[in-house]
Chains A and B, each alone.
Chain A
Protein backbone atom coordinates (compact mmCIF):
# COMPACT_ATOMS: atom_id res chain seq x y z
CA UNK A 1 0.00 0.00 0.00
CA UNK A 2 1.45 3.34 -1.07
CA UNK A 3 -0.17 6.61 0.01
CA UNK A 4 0.73 9.98 -1.47
CA UNK A 5 0.25 13.11 0.69
CA UNK A 6 -0.07 15.96 -1.80
CA UNK A 7 0.42 19.64 -0.93
CA UNK A 8 1.44 22.81 -2.70
CA UNK A 9 5.13 23.01 -1.90
CA UNK A 10 6.05 19.69 -0.29
CA UNK A 11 7.06 21.61 2.82
CA UNK A 12 4.18 22.43 5.12
CA UNK A 13 0.75 20.95 4.76
CA UNK A 14 2.02 17.80 3.01
CA UNK A 15 4.19 17.00 6.01
CA UNK A 16 1.24 17.59 8.32
CA UNK A 17 -0.85 15.26 6.17
CA UNK A 18 1.83 12.57 6.28
CA UNK A 19 2.05 12.82 10.07
CA UNK A 20 -1.72 12.53 10.40
CA UNK A 21 -1.95 9.64 7.92
CA UNK A 22 0.73 7.76 9.87
CA UNK A 23 -1.07 8.37 13.16
CA UNK A 24 -4.38 7.31 11.64
CA UNK A 25 -2.85 4.12 10.18
CA UNK A 26 -1.43 3.29 13.59
CA UNK A 27 -4.89 3.75 15.12
CA UNK A 28 -6.37 1.50 12.44
CA UNK A 29 -3.63 -1.08 12.93
CA UNK A 30 -2.53 -0.79 9.30
CA UNK A 31 0.71 -0.16 7.48
CA UNK A 32 1.52 1.83 4.35
CA UNK A 33 4.35 3.80 2.79
CA UNK A 34 3.44 7.47 3.03
CA UNK A 35 5.26 9.86 0.69
CA UNK A 36 4.93 13.64 0.42
CA UNK A 37 4.61 15.12 -3.06
CA UNK A 38 4.17 18.72 -4.15
CA UNK A 39 1.48 19.47 -6.68
CA UNK A 40 4.07 19.86 -9.46
CA UNK A 41 5.15 16.22 -9.31
CA UNK A 42 2.01 14.67 -7.83
CA UNK A 43 0.43 13.65 -11.13
CA UNK A 44 3.50 11.68 -12.19
CA UNK A 45 3.93 10.11 -8.75
CA UNK A 46 0.25 9.16 -8.66
CA UNK A 47 0.99 6.46 -11.27
CA UNK A 48 2.48 4.23 -8.61
CA UNK A 49 0.30 5.21 -5.64
CA UNK A 50 -2.75 3.38 -4.28
CA UNK A 51 -4.34 6.35 -2.54
CA UNK A 52 -3.91 10.14 -2.55
CA UNK A 53 -4.60 12.35 0.47
CA UNK A 54 -4.80 16.10 -0.14
CA UNK A 55 -6.98 19.21 0.24
CA UNK A 56 -10.09 20.02 -1.76
CA UNK A 57 -8.37 22.89 -3.62
CA UNK A 58 -5.43 20.76 -4.68
CA UNK A 59 -7.64 17.80 -5.59
CA UNK A 60 -9.04 19.94 -8.39
CA UNK A 61 -5.57 19.91 -9.96
CA UNK A 62 -5.51 16.11 -9.80
CA UNK A 63 -8.65 15.23 -11.72
CA UNK A 64 -8.37 12.06 -13.76
CA UNK A 65 -5.56 10.41 -11.75
CA UNK A 66 -5.75 6.66 -11.31
CA UNK A 67 -5.79 6.25 -7.49
CA UNK A 68 -8.68 7.29 -5.29
CA UNK A 69 -8.31 10.82 -3.90
CA UNK A 70 -9.52 11.73 -0.42
CA UNK A 71 -9.65 15.35 0.77
CA UNK A 72 -9.01 16.58 4.30
CA UNK A 73 -10.24 19.95 5.54
CA UNK A 74 -8.97 19.95 9.13
CA UNK A 75 -5.32 18.94 9.36
CA UNK A 76 -5.23 18.83 13.13
CA UNK A 77 -8.35 16.68 13.54
CA UNK A 78 -7.23 13.06 13.74
CA UNK A 79 -10.82 11.82 13.80
CA UNK A 80 -11.51 13.22 10.32
CA UNK A 81 -8.38 11.54 8.96
CA UNK A 82 -9.17 8.20 10.62
CA UNK A 83 -12.76 8.22 9.32
CA UNK A 84 -11.88 9.14 5.72
CA UNK A 85 -8.89 6.84 5.55
CA UNK A 86 -10.90 3.93 6.92
CA UNK A 87 -13.66 4.46 4.35
CA UNK A 88 -11.16 4.70 1.48
CA UNK A 89 -9.16 1.65 2.55
CA UNK A 90 -12.29 -0.45 2.85
CA UNK A 91 -13.14 0.38 -0.76
CA UNK A 92 -9.68 -0.31 -2.20
Chain B
Protein backbone atom coordinates (compact mmCIF):
# COMPACT_ATOMS: atom_id res chain seq x y z
CA UNK B 1 0.00 0.00 0.00
CA UNK B 2 1.42 3.33 -1.04
CA UNK B 3 1.40 6.09 1.56
CA UNK B 4 0.94 9.61 0.26
CA UNK B 5 1.46 12.64 2.40
CA UNK B 6 -0.39 15.81 1.53
CA UNK B 7 1.65 18.78 2.56
CA UNK B 8 -0.58 21.39 4.25
CA UNK B 9 -0.83 21.42 8.03
CA UNK B 10 -4.38 22.18 9.14
CA UNK B 11 -5.15 23.95 12.41
CA UNK B 12 -7.79 21.34 13.09
CA UNK B 13 -8.65 18.05 11.44
CA UNK B 14 -12.24 17.04 12.25
CA UNK B 15 -13.06 13.37 11.75
CA UNK B 16 -16.75 12.84 11.04
CA UNK B 17 -19.46 15.19 9.77
CA UNK B 18 -22.56 14.53 11.89
CA UNK B 19 -23.97 16.73 14.64
CA UNK B 20 -20.61 16.99 16.44
CA UNK B 21 -18.38 17.35 13.38
CA UNK B 22 -20.78 19.76 11.68
CA UNK B 23 -20.90 21.98 14.75
CA UNK B 24 -17.11 21.91 15.06
CA UNK B 25 -16.73 22.94 11.43
CA UNK B 26 -19.28 25.75 11.74
CA UNK B 27 -17.94 27.25 14.98
CA UNK B 28 -14.25 26.89 14.12
CA UNK B 29 -14.50 28.35 10.62
CA UNK B 30 -16.60 31.22 12.03
CA UNK B 31 -13.72 31.88 14.45
CA UNK B 32 -11.23 32.04 11.58
CA UNK B 33 -9.68 28.60 12.04
CA UNK B 34 -8.60 26.49 9.04
CA UNK B 35 -10.29 23.13 9.17
CA UNK B 36 -10.00 19.88 7.27
CA UNK B 37 -13.04 17.65 7.55
CA UNK B 38 -12.70 13.98 6.78
CA UNK B 39 -15.77 11.88 6.19
CA UNK B 40 -15.84 8.15 5.52
CA UNK B 41 -18.73 8.49 3.07
CA UNK B 42 -19.60 10.56 0.04
CA UNK B 43 -20.84 14.12 -0.42
CA UNK B 44 -24.57 14.64 0.07
CA UNK B 45 -26.61 16.13 -2.77
CA UNK B 46 -30.05 16.98 -1.33
CA UNK B 47 -31.61 17.71 -4.73
CA UNK B 48 -30.73 14.20 -5.93
CA UNK B 49 -30.62 12.22 -2.69
CA UNK B 50 -33.84 13.34 -1.01
CA UNK B 51 -37.16 11.79 -2.06
CA UNK B 52 -39.26 14.49 -0.44
CA UNK B 53 -42.89 14.66 -1.66
CA UNK B 54 -42.61 11.55 -3.83
CA UNK B 55 -45.61 9.21 -3.91
CA UNK B 56 -45.09 5.44 -3.65
CA UNK B 57 -46.87 4.97 -6.98
CA UNK B 58 -44.18 7.01 -8.68
CA UNK B 59 -41.88 3.97 -8.44
CA UNK B 60 -42.99 0.64 -9.82
CA UNK B 61 -42.04 -1.24 -6.64
CA UNK B 62 -44.09 1.32 -4.63
CA UNK B 63 -41.22 1.75 -2.17
CA UNK B 64 -40.82 -1.92 -1.29
CA UNK B 65 -37.48 -1.98 -3.07
CA UNK B 66 -36.15 -4.07 -5.95
CA UNK B 67 -37.80 -7.50 -5.85
CA UNK B 68 -39.98 -6.40 -2.93
CA UNK B 69 -37.03 -6.54 -0.51
CA UNK B 70 -39.14 -4.94 2.23
CA UNK B 71 -41.47 -7.95 2.28
CA UNK B 72 -38.56 -10.16 3.24
CA UNK B 73 -37.06 -7.80 5.83
CA UNK B 74 -34.14 -7.15 3.52
CA UNK B 75 -34.61 -3.46 2.87
CA UNK B 76 -32.35 -1.14 4.82
CA UNK B 77 -34.50 1.52 6.43
CA UNK B 78 -37.28 2.81 4.18
CA UNK B 79 -36.92 3.34 0.46
CA UNK B 80 -37.98 6.98 0.76
CA UNK B 81 -35.72 7.82 3.74
CA UNK B 82 -32.82 10.22 3.40
CA UNK B 83 -29.49 8.45 2.84
CA UNK B 84 -28.67 7.57 6.34
CA UNK B 85 -26.75 4.38 6.90
CA UNK B 86 -27.82 1.23 8.66
CA UNK B 87 -26.88 -1.36 11.26
CA UNK B 88 -25.22 -3.53 8.64
CA UNK B 89 -22.67 -2.15 6.20
CA UNK B 90 -21.04 -4.15 3.46
CA UNK B 91 -17.37 -4.66 4.15
CA UNK B 92 -17.56 -3.02 7.57
CA UNK B 93 -18.39 -5.73 10.08
CA UNK B 94 -18.35 -5.63 13.86
CA UNK B 95 -18.62 -8.54 16.23
CA UNK B 96 -20.73 -9.20 19.29
CA UNK B 97 -19.41 -11.17 22.26
CA UNK B 98 -21.13 -14.47 23.09
CA UNK B 99 -24.19 -13.87 25.24
CA UNK B 100 -24.56 -10.24 24.12
CA UNK B 101 -26.93 -8.70 21.65
CA UNK B 102 -26.06 -5.36 20.08
CA UNK B 103 -26.55 -3.66 16.75
CA UNK B 104 -24.24 -0.85 15.69
CA UNK B 105 -25.70 1.82 13.41
CA UNK B 106 -23.22 3.59 11.14
CA UNK B 107 -23.61 6.30 8.57
CA UNK B 108 -21.28 7.10 5.72
CA UNK B 109 -22.22 10.43 4.12
CA UNK B 110 -21.72 14.14 4.72
CA UNK B 111 -24.15 14.98 7.52
CA UNK B 112 -24.09 11.47 8.96
CA UNK B 113 -27.19 10.51 10.87
CA UNK B 114 -28.46 14.10 11.03
CA UNK B 115 -29.75 13.81 7.46
CA UNK B 116 -32.45 11.56 8.77
CA UNK B 117 -32.70 11.63 12.58
CA UNK B 118 -35.90 12.41 14.52
CA UNK B 119 -34.87 16.05 15.25
CA UNK B 120 -35.96 15.69 18.88
CA UNK B 121 -34.03 18.36 20.77
CA UNK B 122 -34.27 18.04 24.56
CA UNK B 123 -32.01 19.74 27.07
CA UNK B 124 -30.61 17.62 29.85
CA UNK B 125 -31.97 18.67 33.25
CA UNK B 126 -29.72 20.12 35.95
CA UNK B 127 -29.87 16.89 37.92
CA UNK B 128 -28.90 14.82 34.86
CA UNK B 129 -25.33 16.08 35.20
CA UNK B 130 -25.06 14.85 38.81
CA UNK B 131 -26.61 11.38 38.76
CA UNK B 132 -24.22 9.79 41.30
CA UNK B 133 -24.88 12.55 43.82
CA UNK B 134 -28.62 11.86 43.56
CA UNK B 135 -28.86 8.09 43.71
CA UNK B 136 -25.34 6.70 44.12
CA UNK B 137 -25.32 5.11 40.67
CA UNK B 138 -23.05 5.94 37.74
CA UNK B 139 -20.76 8.96 37.82
CA UNK B 140 -21.23 12.74 38.04
CA UNK B 141 -20.21 14.87 35.07
CA UNK B 142 -17.25 17.21 35.66
CA UNK B 143 -19.52 20.03 34.44
CA UNK B 144 -23.02 21.14 35.37
CA UNK B 145 -26.11 22.50 33.68
CA UNK B 146 -24.81 26.05 34.14
CA UNK B 147 -21.75 25.20 31.99
CA UNK B 148 -23.80 23.80 29.12
CA UNK B 149 -26.84 26.09 29.30
CA UNK B 150 -25.26 29.00 27.35
CA UNK B 151 -24.38 26.54 24.59
CA UNK B 152 -27.89 25.11 24.54
CA UNK B 153 -28.98 28.72 23.96
CA UNK B 154 -26.53 29.11 21.07
CA UNK B 155 -27.39 25.73 19.58
CA UNK B 156 -31.16 26.27 19.73
CA UNK B 157 -30.85 29.82 18.44
CA UNK B 158 -28.79 28.70 15.48
CA UNK B 159 -30.41 25.43 14.40
CA UNK B 160 -33.95 26.48 15.40
CA UNK B 161 -36.01 24.42 17.85
CA UNK B 162 -39.76 24.51 18.47
CA UNK B 163 -41.16 24.50 21.99
CA UNK B 164 -42.96 26.32 24.76
CA UNK B 165 -41.87 27.52 28.17
CA UNK B 166 -43.27 25.04 30.68
CA UNK B 167 -41.17 25.40 33.83
CA UNK B 168 -40.76 21.63 34.26
CA UNK B 169 -37.52 20.69 35.99
CA UNK B 170 -36.99 17.49 34.00
CA UNK B 171 -37.38 19.41 30.72
CA UNK B 172 -35.59 22.79 30.99
CA UNK B 173 -36.96 25.56 28.79
CA UNK B 174 -34.83 26.99 26.01
CA UNK B 175 -34.76 29.38 23.07
CA UNK B 176 -37.86 28.25 21.23
CA UNK B 177 -39.70 28.91 17.97
CA UNK B 178 -43.49 28.61 17.91
CA UNK B 179 -44.58 24.97 17.64
CA UNK B 180 -47.52 23.90 15.46
CA UNK B 181 -50.74 22.89 17.27
CA UNK B 182 -51.36 19.27 18.29
CA UNK B 183 -52.97 16.84 15.87
CA UNK B 184 -56.32 15.26 16.80
CA UNK B 185 -54.81 12.09 18.34
CA UNK B 186 -52.34 14.24 20.25
CA UNK B 187 -55.22 16.27 21.71
CA UNK B 188 -56.74 13.00 22.92
CA UNK B 189 -53.45 11.76 24.39
CA UNK B 190 -52.99 15.09 26.17
CA UNK B 191 -56.49 14.87 27.66
CA UNK B 192 -55.84 11.31 28.71
CA UNK B 193 -52.56 12.37 30.34
CA UNK B 194 -54.35 15.27 32.12
CA UNK B 195 -56.62 12.72 33.79
CA UNK B 196 -53.63 10.62 34.82
CA UNK B 197 -51.71 13.71 36.04
CA UNK B 198 -48.94 13.13 33.49
CA UNK B 199 -47.53 16.19 31.68
CA UNK B 200 -47.90 16.30 27.90
CA UNK B 201 -46.32 19.35 26.24
CA UNK B 202 -45.38 20.63 22.78
CA UNK B 203 -42.45 18.73 21.30
CA UNK B 204 -39.06 20.34 20.96
CA UNK B 205 -38.04 19.60 17.40
CA UNK B 206 -35.15 20.99 15.35
CA UNK B 207 -37.58 22.26 12.72
CA UNK B 208 -37.93 25.98 12.04
CA UNK B 209 -41.35 27.62 11.95
CA UNK B 210 -40.00 31.03 10.97
CA UNK B 211 -37.30 31.87 8.43
CA UNK B 212 -33.92 31.47 10.14
CA UNK B 213 -30.42 32.23 8.82
CA UNK B 214 -31.60 32.14 5.21
CA UNK B 215 -33.57 28.91 5.67
CA UNK B 216 -37.30 29.06 4.88
CA UNK B 217 -39.87 28.02 7.49
CA UNK B 218 -41.27 24.49 7.60
CA UNK B 219 -43.95 23.68 5.01
CA UNK B 220 -45.48 20.94 7.20
CA UNK B 221 -45.31 18.02 4.79
CA UNK B 222 -44.41 15.61 7.58
CA UNK B 223 -41.48 14.13 5.69
CA UNK B 224 -38.45 15.24 7.74
CA UNK B 225 -37.13 11.69 7.60
CA UNK B 226 -36.84 11.83 3.83
CA UNK B 227 -34.58 14.84 4.09
CA UNK B 228 -35.78 18.40 3.54
CA UNK B 229 -34.61 19.97 0.30
CA UNK B 230 -35.35 23.45 1.67
CA UNK B 231 -33.47 22.68 4.94
CA UNK B 232 -36.32 23.69 7.23
CA UNK B 233 -35.12 21.00 9.59
CA UNK B 234 -31.64 20.71 11.03
CA UNK B 235 -29.03 18.54 9.43
CA UNK B 236 -25.33 19.25 9.91
CA UNK B 237 -24.82 18.89 6.16
CA UNK B 238 -27.27 21.57 5.04
CA UNK B 239 -27.23 23.87 8.07
CA UNK B 240 -23.57 23.85 9.08
CA UNK B 241 -21.26 22.24 6.53
CA UNK B 242 -22.61 23.66 3.24
CA UNK B 243 -22.53 27.24 4.58
CA UNK B 244 -19.02 26.67 6.01
CA UNK B 245 -17.84 25.54 2.57
CA UNK B 246 -18.26 29.16 1.48
CA UNK B 247 -15.93 30.42 4.23
CA UNK B 248 -12.75 29.53 2.35
CA UNK B 249 -11.47 27.93 5.54
CA UNK B 250 -12.85 24.43 5.07
CA UNK B 251 -11.33 21.58 3.08
CA UNK B 252 -13.42 18.42 2.85
CA UNK B 253 -12.05 14.94 2.21
CA UNK B 254 -14.86 12.48 1.39
CA UNK B 255 -14.64 8.69 1.16
CA UNK B 256 -11.82 8.99 3.68
CA UNK B 257 -11.92 6.28 6.34
CA UNK B 258 -9.80 7.26 9.34
CA UNK B 259 -7.48 4.44 10.31
CA UNK B 260 -5.12 5.75 12.97
CA UNK B 261 -3.82 8.87 14.70
CA UNK B 262 -0.08 9.36 14.21
CA UNK B 263 1.84 10.90 17.11
CA UNK B 264 5.14 12.73 17.32
CA UNK B 265 7.95 12.13 19.83
CA UNK B 266 6.24 14.35 22.39
CA UNK B 267 3.06 12.28 22.29
CA UNK B 268 0.96 14.80 20.39
CA UNK B 269 -1.07 13.92 17.31
CA UNK B 270 0.74 15.15 14.20
CA UNK B 271 -1.30 13.50 11.48
CA UNK B 272 -4.40 11.48 10.74
CA UNK B 273 -3.89 8.38 8.66
CA UNK B 274 -6.86 7.47 6.49
CA UNK B 275 -7.81 5.13 3.70
CA UNK B 276 -8.89 6.82 0.51
CA UNK B 277 -11.71 4.44 -0.38
CA UNK B 278 -11.65 5.21 -4.09
CA UNK B 279 -8.02 4.18 -4.56
CA UNK B 280 -7.71 1.96 -1.45
CA UNK B 281 -4.47 3.78 -0.67
CA UNK B 282 -3.42 5.14 2.68
CA UNK B 283 -2.91 8.87 3.06
CA UNK B 284 -2.10 11.24 5.86
CA UNK B 285 -3.29 14.73 6.73
CA UNK B 286 -1.08 16.75 9.01
CA UNK B 287 -2.69 18.71 11.79
CA UNK B 288 -2.01 20.97 14.76
CA UNK B 289 -5.02 19.54 16.59
CA UNK B 290 -7.53 16.80 15.93
CA UNK B 291 -11.19 16.44 16.84
CA UNK B 292 -12.79 12.99 16.83
CA UNK B 293 -16.44 13.29 15.87
CA UNK B 294 -16.84 9.96 14.17
CA UNK B 295 -19.59 8.75 16.59
CA UNK B 296 -18.97 7.48 20.10
CA UNK B 297 -18.00 3.94 19.15
CA UNK B 298 -16.12 4.84 15.97
CA UNK B 299 -14.08 7.43 17.90
CA UNK B 300 -13.29 4.88 20.60
CA UNK B 301 -12.26 2.41 17.87
CA UNK B 302 -9.91 4.95 16.32
CA UNK B 303 -8.23 5.63 19.68
CA UNK B 304 -7.92 1.94 20.49
CA UNK B 305 -6.43 1.30 17.05
CA UNK B 306 -3.86 4.12 17.48
CA UNK B 307 -1.16 2.25 19.31
CA UNK B 308 2.45 3.32 19.68
CA UNK B 309 5.36 3.56 22.07
CA UNK B 310 4.04 4.85 25.38
CA UNK B 311 0.45 4.10 24.42
CA UNK B 312 0.33 0.42 23.62
CA UNK B 313 -3.20 0.30 25.00
CA UNK B 314 -4.44 2.86 22.47
CA UNK B 315 -4.09 6.62 22.38
CA UNK B 316 -5.47 8.80 25.23
CA UNK B 317 -6.22 5.60 27.08
CA UNK B 318 -3.93 5.53 30.11
CA UNK B 319 -7.15 5.28 32.13
CA UNK B 320 -8.19 2.13 30.27
CA UNK B 321 -11.66 3.69 30.04
CA UNK B 322 -11.85 4.08 26.25
CA UNK B 323 -14.70 1.88 25.03
CA UNK B 324 -16.14 1.48 28.53
CA UNK B 325 -19.33 3.06 29.95
CA UNK B 326 -21.14 2.45 26.66
CA UNK B 327 -24.91 2.94 26.86
CA UNK B 328 -27.92 3.17 24.54
CA UNK B 329 -31.34 4.53 25.48
CA UNK B 330 -33.96 2.01 26.51
CA UNK B 331 -36.78 1.60 24.02
CA UNK B 332 -40.27 0.21 24.42
CA UNK B 333 -43.38 1.04 22.44
CA UNK B 334 -47.03 0.11 22.40
CA UNK B 335 -49.59 0.62 19.67
CA UNK B 336 -53.23 1.24 20.51
CA UNK B 337 -56.50 1.28 18.60
CA UNK B 338 -58.63 4.33 19.42
CA UNK B 339 -62.31 3.89 18.46
CA UNK B 340 -62.94 7.64 18.99
CA UNK B 341 -60.85 8.25 15.86
CA UNK B 342 -62.90 5.96 13.60
CA UNK B 343 -64.32 7.80 10.58
CA UNK B 344 -62.65 10.99 11.77
CA UNK B 345 -63.39 13.85 9.34
CA UNK B 346 -60.51 13.79 6.88
CA UNK B 347 -57.92 16.56 6.87
CA UNK B 348 -54.21 17.01 6.21
CA UNK B 349 -52.45 15.92 9.41
CA UNK B 350 -48.88 15.87 8.06
CA UNK B 351 -47.35 18.70 10.12
CA UNK B 352 -43.74 18.42 11.22
CA UNK B 353 -42.03 15.07 10.76
CA UNK B 354 -42.64 13.54 14.18
CA UNK B 355 -44.72 14.18 17.28
CA UNK B 356 -46.09 17.66 17.91
CA UNK B 357 -46.46 16.75 21.61
CA UNK B 358 -44.45 14.60 23.99
CA UNK B 359 -44.41 13.45 27.57
CA UNK B 360 -41.38 14.59 29.58
CA UNK B 361 -40.37 12.51 32.60
CA UNK B 362 -42.69 13.35 35.50
CA UNK B 363 -41.55 11.20 38.41
CA UNK B 364 -38.09 12.71 38.74
CA UNK B 365 -38.62 13.56 42.42
CA UNK B 366 -40.64 10.49 43.33
CA UNK B 367 -38.83 8.43 45.98
CA UNK B 368 -40.87 5.23 46.21
CA UNK B 369 -40.57 3.93 42.65
CA UNK B 370 -38.75 0.63 42.05
CA UNK B 371 -36.20 1.83 39.47
CA UNK B 372 -33.81 4.79 39.24
CA UNK B 373 -33.99 7.56 36.60
CA UNK B 374 -36.75 7.82 34.01
CA UNK B 375 -37.89 8.13 30.41
CA UNK B 376 -39.79 10.39 28.03
CA UNK B 377 -42.54 9.36 25.63
CA UNK B 378 -42.87 10.10 21.91
CA UNK B 379 -46.30 9.96 20.27
CA UNK B 380 -47.33 8.55 16.89
CA UNK B 381 -50.55 8.59 14.90
CA UNK B 382 -52.54 10.56 12.32
CA UNK B 383 -53.40 10.05 8.67
CA UNK B 384 -50.05 8.83 7.39
CA UNK B 385 -49.26 8.65 3.70
CA UNK B 386 -50.33 5.14 2.66
CA UNK B 387 -47.29 3.03 1.89
CA UNK B 388 -46.28 -0.58 1.50
CA UNK B 389 -47.04 -2.22 4.84
CA UNK B 390 -49.45 0.46 6.10
CA UNK B 391 -52.35 -2.00 6.16
CA UNK B 392 -50.70 -5.33 6.84
CA UNK B 393 -51.91 -5.07 10.43
CA UNK B 394 -55.46 -4.37 9.27
CA UNK B 395 -55.32 -7.31 6.83
CA UNK B 396 -54.13 -9.58 9.59
CA UNK B 397 -56.67 -8.38 12.13
CA UNK B 398 -59.72 -8.27 9.88
CA UNK B 399 -58.72 -11.16 7.63
CA UNK B 400 -61.35 -12.04 5.03
CA UNK B 401 -61.62 -10.17 1.72
CA UNK B 402 -63.93 -8.09 -0.37
CA UNK B 403 -66.07 -5.09 0.47
CA UNK B 404 -65.95 -5.75 4.21
CA UNK B 405 -62.13 -5.71 4.20
CA UNK B 406 -62.18 -2.47 2.24
CA UNK B 407 -64.66 -0.90 4.66
CA UNK B 408 -62.63 -2.06 7.68
CA UNK B 409 -59.44 -0.53 6.32
CA UNK B 410 -61.26 2.74 5.61
CA UNK B 411 -62.75 2.80 9.10
CA UNK B 412 -59.46 1.90 10.78
CA UNK B 413 -57.35 4.40 8.84
CA UNK B 414 -55.85 6.93 11.27
CA UNK B 415 -57.13 5.15 14.39
CA UNK B 416 -53.82 3.65 15.51
CA UNK B 417 -51.63 5.58 17.92
CA UNK B 418 -48.18 4.73 19.15
CA UNK B 419 -46.42 5.53 22.40
CA UNK B 420 -42.65 5.05 22.48
CA UNK B 421 -40.58 5.35 25.64
CA UNK B 422 -36.94 6.39 25.55
CA UNK B 423 -35.25 6.02 28.88
CA UNK B 424 -31.98 6.26 30.72
CA UNK B 425 -29.59 3.33 30.86
CA UNK B 426 -27.01 3.42 33.63
CA UNK B 427 -23.46 2.41 32.58
CA UNK B 428 -22.53 -1.08 33.75
CA UNK B 429 -19.42 -3.26 33.71
CA UNK B 430 -20.90 -5.73 31.24
CA UNK B 431 -21.44 -3.14 28.51
CA UNK B 432 -18.46 -1.88 26.51
CA UNK B 433 -16.73 -2.08 23.15
CA UNK B 434 -13.20 -3.26 22.52
CA UNK B 435 -11.08 -4.28 19.53
CA UNK B 436 -11.72 -7.77 18.20
CA UNK B 437 -8.18 -9.10 17.68
CA UNK B 438 -9.31 -11.52 14.97
CA UNK B 439 -11.38 -9.44 12.57
CA UNK B 440 -10.56 -6.53 10.26
CA UNK B 441 -12.78 -4.60 7.87
CA UNK B 442 -12.27 -4.44 4.12
CA UNK B 443 -9.54 -1.83 4.59
CA UNK B 444 -7.67 -3.90 7.12
CA UNK B 445 -8.77 -1.83 10.12
CA UNK B 446 -9.43 -3.94 13.25
CA UNK B 447 -13.13 -3.89 14.11
CA UNK B 448 -15.08 -3.42 17.33
CA UNK B 449 -16.50 -6.20 19.43
CA UNK B 450 -19.48 -5.34 21.61
CA UNK B 451 -20.50 -6.58 25.00
CA UNK B 452 -23.94 -5.42 26.04
CA UNK B 453 -26.29 -6.14 28.93
CA UNK B 454 -29.34 -4.39 30.30
CA UNK B 455 -29.57 -4.41 34.09
CA UNK B 456 -32.57 -4.79 36.34
CA UNK B 457 -32.80 -0.97 36.43
CA UNK B 458 -33.73 -0.82 32.77
CA UNK B 459 -35.99 -3.89 32.86
CA UNK B 460 -38.05 -2.36 35.68
CA UNK B 461 -38.17 0.93 33.81
CA UNK B 462 -39.68 -0.60 30.68
CA UNK B 463 -42.27 -2.38 32.83
CA UNK B 464 -43.26 1.05 34.09
CA UNK B 465 -43.55 2.16 30.45
CA UNK B 466 -45.85 -0.76 29.67
CA UNK B 467 -48.13 0.05 32.60
CA UNK B 468 -48.21 3.78 31.80
CA UNK B 469 -48.85 3.37 28.07
CA UNK B 470 -51.64 0.89 28.74
CA UNK B 471 -53.28 3.38 31.12
CA UNK B 472 -53.01 6.25 28.63
CA UNK B 473 -54.51 4.15 25.82
CA UNK B 474 -57.34 2.78 27.97
CA UNK B 475 -58.17 6.16 29.50
CA UNK B 476 -58.97 7.45 26.01
CA UNK B 477 -61.23 4.47 25.37
CA UNK B 478 -58.69 2.55 23.35
CA UNK B 479 -57.32 -0.96 23.39
CA UNK B 480 -53.68 -2.02 23.29
CA UNK B 481 -52.85 -3.65 19.95
CA UNK B 482 -49.38 -4.82 20.92
CA UNK B 483 -45.74 -3.85 20.53
CA UNK B 484 -45.03 -0.91 18.27
CA UNK B 485 -41.72 -2.40 17.08
CA UNK B 486 -41.98 -6.17 17.52
CA UNK B 487 -38.93 -6.75 15.32
CA UNK B 488 -36.57 -5.22 17.90
CA UNK B 489 -38.54 -5.22 21.16
CA UNK B 490 -39.90 -8.77 21.23
CA UNK B 491 -38.03 -9.49 24.48
CA UNK B 492 -39.88 -6.58 26.14
CA UNK B 493 -36.99 -4.10 25.75
CA UNK B 494 -35.16 -2.83 22.69
CA UNK B 495 -32.07 -4.65 21.49
CA UNK B 496 -29.00 -2.61 22.50
CA UNK B 497 -27.99 -0.14 19.80
CA UNK B 498 -31.35 -0.09 18.06
CA UNK B 499 -32.43 3.22 19.59
CA UNK B 500 -29.20 4.63 18.04
CA UNK B 501 -28.24 6.69 21.10
CA UNK B 502 -24.96 4.92 21.82
CA UNK B 503 -22.58 7.09 23.79
CA UNK B 504 -20.15 7.39 26.69
CA UNK B 505 -17.17 5.45 25.30
CA UNK B 506 -14.63 8.31 25.71
CA UNK B 507 -15.99 9.95 28.80
CA UNK B 508 -14.96 13.19 30.45
CA UNK B 509 -13.94 13.54 34.08
CA UNK B 510 -11.55 15.48 36.27
CA UNK B 511 -9.50 12.42 37.18
CA UNK B 512 -7.13 11.28 34.41
CA UNK B 513 -6.98 7.87 36.07
CA UNK B 514 -10.65 7.15 35.42
CA UNK B 515 -11.59 9.29 32.40
CA UNK B 516 -9.88 9.84 29.05
CA UNK B 517 -11.07 13.46 28.64
CA UNK B 518 -11.05 16.56 30.80
CA UNK B 519 -14.06 18.83 31.21
CA UNK B 520 -13.39 20.51 27.84
CA UNK B 521 -13.48 17.16 26.03
CA UNK B 522 -9.71 17.40 25.65
CA UNK B 523 -7.66 14.25 26.22
CA UNK B 524 -5.83 14.24 29.55
CA UNK B 525 -2.97 12.36 27.90
CA UNK B 526 -2.82 14.19 24.56
CA UNK B 527 -3.32 17.95 24.73
CA UNK B 528 -4.09 18.45 21.05
CA UNK B 529 -6.74 15.73 20.87
CA UNK B 530 -10.43 16.52 21.43
CA UNK B 531 -13.65 14.54 21.09
CA UNK B 532 -16.75 16.23 19.67
CA UNK B 533 -19.39 13.50 19.44
CA UNK B 534 -21.33 11.61 22.14
CA UNK B 535 -18.21 9.77 23.33
CA UNK B 536 -17.55 12.32 26.14
CA UNK B 537 -21.00 11.84 27.75
CA UNK B 538 -20.79 10.61 31.33
CA UNK B 539 -24.40 9.50 31.49
CA UNK B 540 -27.23 8.92 29.01
CA UNK B 541 -30.26 10.77 30.42
CA UNK B 542 -33.80 10.28 29.14
CA UNK B 543 -33.30 12.98 26.51
CA UNK B 544 -32.16 12.20 22.99
CA UNK B 545 -28.50 13.12 22.71
CA UNK B 546 -28.20 15.24 19.56
CA UNK B 547 -28.89 18.69 21.07
CA UNK B 548 -26.33 18.02 23.80
CA UNK B 549 -23.79 16.79 21.22
CA UNK B 550 -24.21 20.12 19.42
CA UNK B 551 -23.98 22.18 22.64
CA UNK B 552 -20.90 20.34 23.93
CA UNK B 553 -19.18 20.46 20.52
CA UNK B 554 -19.86 24.20 20.36
CA UNK B 555 -18.29 24.65 23.80
CA UNK B 556 -15.31 22.47 22.89
CA UNK B 557 -14.80 24.34 19.59
CA UNK B 558 -14.67 27.71 21.35
CA UNK B 559 -12.22 26.37 23.91
CA UNK B 560 -10.09 24.77 21.20
CA UNK B 561 -9.98 27.95 19.13
CA UNK B 562 -8.89 29.93 22.18
CA UNK B 563 -6.20 27.39 23.08
CA UNK B 564 -4.94 27.52 19.49
CA UNK B 565 -4.83 31.32 19.65
CA UNK B 566 -2.88 31.20 22.90
CA UNK B 567 -0.49 28.63 21.47
CA UNK B 568 -1.36 26.09 24.17
CA UNK B 569 -2.04 23.18 21.86
A and B: real partners? no
Interface residues of B (CB under 8 A from A): none
Report A's interface with B, CB cutoff 8 A.
none
